[in-house]
Amino acid sequence: MDAIQDQTTFPRVTLVDPREAYVKPPFPDQKKMKMPGSTAKMEPTPDHGEQGYRGSGKLKGLNAIITGADSGIGRAIALCYAREGANVVINYLSEDDDAKETQSLVEAAGVQAKVVRGDLREESFCEELIESAVESLGSLEILVNNAAFQLTADSIEDFSTEVFDRIFKTNVYAPFWLSRAAMPHIPAGGSIINTVSIQGYDPSPYLLPYSTTKSAMIGMTKAMSKLAMDQGVRVNAVAPGPVWTPLIPGSMDEEKFKNFGKDTLFKRPAQPIELAPLYVWLASTDASYVTGEVFGCTGGKTPY
């Protein structure tokens, strides 16, 4: 029997008031970016855990694909996975500088980082992404469907079919294609983790197509978990509330993102690092009895 861990080796935990843990709005004036946005142009810069996150080997030796991993929540997940010992495939759409920064953070943890640029709206690319990851790393244990696209509009007439189609292809079709291609490779004990949203439960009218896709992803998560358990694979989701990422100044008008997150109980948006540990836990053996679940991280806005 293993010896009981000596708790005297740990320093006392210092509690932090969550209302004051990170920056609050109003945020400085900044120009609306072209989607998908740039981390370097954001003020303040999002916190992905660069200075604070310390791993403990929870994912040692595992291989993970994370979509939309160049910035925001995806970058924070990649950093945390790497510091927990996992090799990471970093998929992104077009922000090369952001992707290189994520790659540097992953490699600094002493694990492999494979960077793959490509458009998830293409079924063939989704299939190639899975196959290339398995070929280069030797196996695949974790798939994180995190990439998403959104645009805002003030009336239903302003949402074109083209925009609606792009949002659905990125947010719903791609996770389906990726999961379908990944399932033959993921062993029992592996995980698929989806990023959904509070918008799937409490939709904002100016995000109508995005909200609709996130409702669909909640249903997909729960249905897929029942199919995937036939081979011992767990499928879960994380539902963020407002999070300070390039998606915000990249898709919202200045009046919306200047006070972004002020309507939460914390009076601020989350930073990406505040969500990433949920993805670590869901991928680890600590969550061995968890599947078909959606975990909210909404700043107290969760309506379910």
Q: Are 50 and 79 in contact (CB under 8 A)?
A: yes
Task: Note the pTM of the prediction, 2 decimals.
Answer: 0.94
Token pair 């100016």: residue:
206
Give the integer Cα–Cα distance in Å for 299 and 242: 8
User: Which carries the bigger pLDDT value, residue 122 or residue 301?
Assistant: 122
Reply yes or no on whether the pLDDT at 1 is more than 60. Answer: no
User: Which carries the bigger pLDDT value, residue 42 or residue 184?
Assistant: 184
Among 34-38, 92-96, 142-146, 269-273, the least confident range: 34-38
User: What pLDDT digit, counting tens, does each position of 125-179 carry?
Assistant: 999 999 999 999 999 999 999 999 998 899 999 999 999 999 999 999 999 999 9
Long-range contacts of 26-30 (CB under 8 A, 24+ apart): 26/258, 26/259, 26/262, 27/257, 27/258, 27/259, 27/260, 29/254, 29/258, 30/249, 30/254
Residue 206: inside a domain: yes
User: And the tokens for 97?
Assistant: 């500088």
Residue 210 annotated as catalytic? yes
Residue 15: inside a domain: no
Token pair 């798939």: residue:
143
Q: What is the pLDDT of residue 295?
A: 96
**For range 19-39, the mean pLDDT:** 81
Give the integer Cα–Cα distance in Å for 179 and 181: 5
How many domains does the structure of the chain reveal?
Answer: 1
Residue 285: inside a domain: yes
Give the integer Cα–Cα distance in Å for 146 and 195: 5
- For 145, the domain range is 56-297
Residue 291: inside a domain: yes
| 3-state SS, residue 243 | strand
Give the model's confidence band at 301: pLDDT under 50 very low, under 70 low, under 90 confident, else very high.
Answer: confident
Residue 13: inside a domain: no
**For range 70-86, the mean pLDDT:** 97
Among 40-44, 90-94, 98-102, 227-231, the least confident range: 40-44
Residue 262 C-alpha from the chain's centroid: 22
Q: What is the pLDDT of residue 257?
A: 77
- Cα of first residue to Cα of last residue in the chain, in angstroms, is 42
Residue 78: inside a domain: yes
Provide the 8-state DSSP code for 50: T
Residue 118: inside a domain: yes
Q: Are 66 and 88 in contact (CB under 8 A)?
A: yes
Task: CATH number of the domain at 237, please.
Answer: 3.40.50.720
Catalytic residue among 210, 279, 289, 304: 210
Burial (Cβ within 10 Å: 0-12, 13-18, ≥19) of residue 127: middle
Residue 104: inside a domain: yes
